[in-house]
Amino acid sequence: MQAAQDAVPAAAGPEPDPADPSDAGRGASAEAIRHHYDVGNAFYRLWLDPTGSYSCALWETGEDALEQAQVRKLEHHIRESGAPGAARVLDIGCGWGGLLQRLVQQHGVGCAVGLTLSEAQAAFVTAQHLPGVEVRLENWLDHRPEAPYGAIVSIGAFEHFARHGLSRQQKVETYRRFFRHCHDWLEPGGGMSLQSIVYGWAGSKEFCSFFDEEIFPESDLPRLGEIFDSLDGLFEVVRLRNDREHYERTLSQWRQRLRARRAEAVALVGEATVVRYEKYFQLCMIGFHVGSMGLARLSLRRLEPQPRPGRA
């Protein structure tokens, strides 16, 4: 759907004002993010794996355990961004800090900075007292790094950067502003690894209101065409993977693990919240299975301005 439209580059438009808090281009509000992620750290710990990864795993064999596949996903993004040995690495949408911890403890990163809008997540990471890890409760639009980064990773945050109701051009402008910031924050030649759910053959009109009202308020998925248009002139796409089957399997694992500890979950957050997550898992599994949604993993490299040849 909309393949012809997505093949046409968006026309240049006015840059949204990042200082205007009412600007829909700021993406989901902090309150909307907390609606989902601040249900409670204890609840998520019941059914997530020990890495605390709340995004699609990277599977290889039928015998993979969830933790093994999640570690492989983290390693994929660390490798693809070029983070090992970097002095500074940024994780946009750092969750409960699994990637940050791995960067400083196993990959020789001097300083790993994580951004989140979830107070519960920020408190959890801070409580770990990890040397070299810094977590900030702030929107990427408000981030002002003290020094350039050698690599940037963003896993499962891009889905929250545009709100429902924006035109295609407005979404591209919003995403381009994000990539422009990342370009400015990176050292010359720096890499970036991005993971995001994307629309497949469906669009926002084909999705039930349950997602917007109950799960991820104020958030709209990107299309791959919108992402590619927003990268133009800023980043080179080195690799692209569509791993939608991987997300179906990840969701199946989460559903099984939640069912196994359902009584504990109900005691923590109540029956209605558990039912909401069970419905969320089931609907998303169907979406990834039939291809109405995809799971994009993009490996990007910062493009450097090239001098224009002079006239003879």
For residue 40, what are the contacts with CB-CB under 8 A and spacing of at least 6?
Answer: 120, 268, 269
Identify the three-state secondary structure at position 238: strand
Q: CA distances (Å), 110 to each of 33, 193, 272, in order? A: 29, 19, 43
Of 216, 280, 272, the closest CA to residue 254 belongs to: 280
Which residue's structure tokens are 């570690």?
Answer: 71
Residue 98 to residue 130: CA distance in whole angstroms:
11
Contact between 6 and 155 (Cβ < 8 Å): no
Residue 168 to residue 165: CA distance in whole angstroms:
9
Contact between 152 and 83 (Cβ < 8 Å): no
- What is the end-to-end Cα distance of the chain in Å, rounded? 48
208 labelled catalytic: no
H/E element, 256:
helix 244-260
Q: Which member of 56, 111, 182, 284 is catalytic?
A: 284
Residue 188 to residue 181: CA distance in whole angstroms:
14
Residue 100 to residue 154: CA distance in whole angstroms:
11
Fill in the DSSP letter of residue 284. Answer: H
Instruction: Report residue 166: phi and psi, to 5°.
Output: -75, 145
Residue 162 to residue 141: CA distance in whole angstroms:
13
Of 159, 226, 160, the closest CA to residue 27 belongs to: 160
For residue 2, what are the contacts with CB-CB under 8 A and spacing of at least 6?
Answer: 203, 223
Tell me which residues are annotated as active site.
Answer: 284
